[in-house]
Amino acid sequence: MTQWANSLIRLSTYEVETLQKRLAEITTRRASAEMRVAVLDAEAEIERERARDDAQTAMFLPAYLKGWELRRASAQATLDMVALEETGARDALAEAFEAQKKFEHVAELSRLSQLAAAAKRETAALDELALRRARA
């Protein structure tokens, strides 16, 4: 295989690995954002339960829920942003895989072409040797 093909394959492999690491980091952030939304929902449910049992807590519940809605909206916006980023990272990774496979395919075709050319040269040399022996 030629040197340029090896270089292209190494570069494309590095790019794929880099994008995989980036996607893993984004996936971790998405899981964290999903957990934050779930925790906020659980906290609101706990406060509603407390409000059913305690009149003073019930009096403060509307204010708490207003603040909870703002925090949840912020957490949901973060989750939506990370989900969009994840989609972009997945698309970039798919394109990088595609490019890597193209380079590998071209390198394999180049290798096979070199093997075919070497086989032709060898066949021609053997044919020439056979003709010389037949003449002699």
Spatial contact of 103 and 15, defined as CB atoms under 8 Å apart: no
Domain boundaries, the chain: 3-135
The pLDDT tens digits of the residues spanning 8-64 come to: 888 888 999 999 999 999 999 999 999 999 999 999 999 999 999 988 889 999 999
Residue range 3-135, CATH number: 1.10.287
Spatial contact of 43 and 88, defined as CB atoms under 8 Å apart: no
Q: What is the pTM of this model?
A: 0.72
* Cα–Cα distance for residue pair 34/40, rounded to 1 Å: 10
The pLDDT tens digits of the residues spanning 85-111 come to: 999 999 999 999 998 898 888 888 888
Q: How confident is the model at residue 133 (pLDDT cuts 50, 70, 90)?
A: confident
